[in-house]
């Protein structure tokens, strides 16, 4: 073993802090304490009030880095998975509480600041502080010495990448260095973060308190990023995987969310957005109009394919634009999915958002006996026995609503599962052919919902002018276009303003 490296590895023993054997005993005792902590955390309900607002990191990881007794974390992942951005995001989270140092062995400080300008914008770097240290020309023994010195003065040290230095050592030297670094962090009350590029399990996996793994996966040729929480001592891992993006050079994971029904007394009127000069209808989804070329086109059929596990979250695709359209005086007709009832839709998506209520401009079309049971001024029956006759009856309802619309246009929603349940797969397709032909010659914005598992022939996709898919992943929702073709995006919806607002975040 190199003499200088050996000297640094013996830091703890010779410094009188503690022997390696003693520290191993301390670690065993700490593991028992962490086991008890985990049991206590498992009994705590997952309340949103416990979440730290404004953070881009998984909640479990926030709990982990703030839990006394945790001193080491291993970040794993292949090149290009976002380990550097993620490491810097951890420093951002810890910066207000601790003195942090980031050691880079791969990229210069200048390049890091150029690639991630938010480091200065978020005041992560301030005059007089040297958070970034360049170790590219440093030998392993020099690096070990500097890390030991920094652990004495800094609360958190990030080594990016540890594998670079470890690859220059023998296996024996590497093992001893890792034990010594983690032991010194524990003895000094510091936090050490190793960034590695090997996915296979090594001795370091067993030594550290926490392990996260960043991965790139592919869905229909589209990049999707996932972070796996493989080990977090003392913390209950409620969700193992999260999807995330590196859009604009910033790490951001998608927190699990569900469609929220805002109490009526807290609702606010939906935004009243007029159609654009070229007749396009704004989607009211941040980031989608740019993909559509400005908005939804008249006389268009827009297909949304919904996969199992999305639940009601897909209505983020429809509700914001539908509410804004009604608020400005347009007419809307909805043959809803079998999962919804007309009265529920009025109570949950119209009242408090639209004023005055669109009594003459809104209709829900339901097959009997559902229409008779629900009743009300907004519900009309549709007798789904013969596809062509049912389509003609539906078109008749549409023509009446167009005459009541402020600009003689119509917003149309069709749930194909309802049609398939009543008419069968071929009958549902025939109904859609008839209605689709009428849509193409009228000023209608038509939205068709196709759910995973339906048996309607796949040739239905050829009717659509646009075709999007929405799938669940890692607690979040991934959205991407087939026509027009897009990369994968994260779909999120907020309710803070008193009405739903949706946005798409590219997965870069």
pLDDT tens per residue across span 96-113: 667 888 888 877 667 777
Q: What is the pLDDT of residue 119?
A: 67
Provide, rounded to the nearest whole percent, the portion of the chain with pLDDT above 90: 55
Residue 117: per-residue pLDDT? 66
Residue 95 has pLDDT above 80, yes or no: no
pLDDT, greater one: 128 or 245: 245
Q: What is the pLDDT of residue 277?
A: 74
Q: What is the pLDDT of residue 304?
A: 98
Tell me: pLDDT of 498 over 60.
yes
Mean pLDDT, residues 360-385 taken together = 83
For residue 266, CA distances in Å to 273, 352, 353 come to 21, 8, 10
Of 146, 145, 159, give the one whose Cα is nearest residue 90: 159
The model's pLDDT over 405-461, given as tens digits with 9 standing for 90+, comes to: 999 999 999 999 999 999 999 999 999 999 999 999 999 999 999 999 999 999 999
Confidence of residue 44 (pLDDT cuts 50, 70, 90): very low
pLDDT confidence band for 207 (50 / 70 / 90): very high
Residue-range domains of the chain with CATH? 3-41+55-253 (3.40.50.300), 264-506 (3.40.50.300)
Reported as a pLDDT band with limits 50, 70 and 90, residue 71 is: confident
Q: What does pLDDT average to over the chain? A: 84
* Contact indicator for 433, 399 with CB cutoff of 8 Å: no
- The mean pLDDT of 480-494, rounded to a whole number, is 97
Q: Give the separation between CA 362 and CA 299, rounded to whole angstroms.
A: 19
The candidate with the shortest Cα–Cα distance to 103, out of 129, 125, 130, 133, is 133
Over the range 15-48, which residues count as b (16 or more CB within 10 Å of their CB) and which as e? eeebeeeebeeebeebeeebeebeeebeeeeeee
Quickly count: other Cβ atoms within 10 Å of residue 486's Cβ. 17
Is residue 27 pLDDT above 90, yes or no?
no
pLDDT for residue 248 is more than 90: no
DSSP 455-477: -S-GGGGGG-SEEEEEEEETTEE
Q: Which of 319, 286, 263, 308 is nearest to 447 (CA)?
A: 319
Could you give the angle at which helices 20-42 and 171-188 cross, rounded to 10 degrees? 60
Cα–Cα distance between 32 and 238 in angstroms, integer? 21
Predicted pLDDT of residue 343: 59
């Amino acid at each position: 073993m190199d003499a200088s490296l050996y000297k640094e590895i013996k830091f703890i023993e010779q410094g009188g802090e503690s022997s390696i054997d003693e520290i191993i005993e301390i670690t065993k005792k700490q593991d028992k304490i962490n086991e008890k902590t985990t049991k206590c955390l498992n009994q705590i309900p997952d309340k949103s009030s416990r979440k730290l607002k404004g953070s881009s990191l998984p909640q479990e990881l926030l709990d982990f880095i703030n839990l006394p007794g945790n001193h080491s974390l291993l970040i794993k992942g292949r090149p290009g998975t976002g380990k550097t951005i993620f490491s810097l995001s951890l420093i951002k989270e810890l910066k207000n509480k601790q003195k942090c140092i980031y050691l880079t062995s791969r990229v210069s400080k200048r390049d890091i600041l150029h690639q991630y300008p938010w480091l200065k914008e978020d005041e992560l770097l301030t005059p007089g502080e040297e958070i970034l240290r360049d170790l590219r020309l440093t030998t392993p023994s020099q690096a070990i010495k500097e890390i030991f010195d920094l652990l004495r003065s800094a609360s958190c040290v990030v080594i990016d990448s540890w594998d670079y230095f470890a690859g220059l050592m023998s296996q024996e030297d590497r093992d001893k260095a890792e034990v010594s670094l983690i032991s010194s962090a524990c003895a000094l009350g510091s936090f050490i973060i190793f960034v590695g590029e090997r996915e296979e399990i090594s001795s370091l996996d067993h030594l550290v308190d926490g392990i996260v793994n960043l991965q790139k996966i592919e869905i229909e040729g589209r990049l999707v990023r996932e972070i796996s929480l493989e080990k977090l001592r003392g913390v209950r891992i409620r969700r193992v995987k999260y999807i995330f993006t590196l859009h604009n050079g910033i790490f951001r994971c998608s927190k699990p969310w569900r469609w929220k029904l805002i109490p009526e007394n807290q609702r606010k009127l939906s935004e009243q957005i007029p159609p654009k000069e070229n007749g396009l209808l704004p989607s009211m989804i941040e980031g989608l109009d740019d993909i559509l070329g400005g908005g939804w086109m008249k006389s268009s059929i827009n297909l949304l394919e919904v996969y199992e596990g999305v639940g009601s979250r897909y209505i983020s695709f429809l509700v914001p634009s539908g509410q804004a359209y009604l608020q400005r005086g347009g007419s809307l007709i909805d043959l809803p999915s079998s999962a919804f009832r007309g009265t529920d839709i009025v109570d949950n998506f119209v009242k408090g958002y639209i004023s005055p209520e669109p009594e003459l401009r809104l209709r829900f079309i339901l097959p009997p006996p559902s229409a008779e049971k629900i009743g009300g001024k907004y519900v009309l029956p549709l007798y789904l026995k013969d596809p062509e006759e049912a389509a003609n009856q539906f078109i008749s309802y549409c023509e009446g609503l167009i005459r009541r619309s402020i600009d003689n246009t119509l917003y149309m929603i069709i749930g194909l599962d309802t049609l398939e349940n009543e008419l069968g797969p071929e009958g549902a397709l025939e109904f859609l052919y008839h209605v689709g032909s009428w849509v193409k010659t009228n000023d209608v914005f038509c939205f068709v919902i196709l759910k995973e598992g339906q048996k309607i022939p796949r040739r239905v996709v050829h009717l659509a002018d646009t075709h999007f898919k929405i799938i669940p992943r890692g607690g979040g929702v991934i959205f991407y276009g087939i026509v027009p073709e897009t990369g994968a995006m994260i779909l999120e919806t907020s309710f803070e303003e008193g009405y739903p607002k949706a946005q798409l975040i590219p997965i870069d």
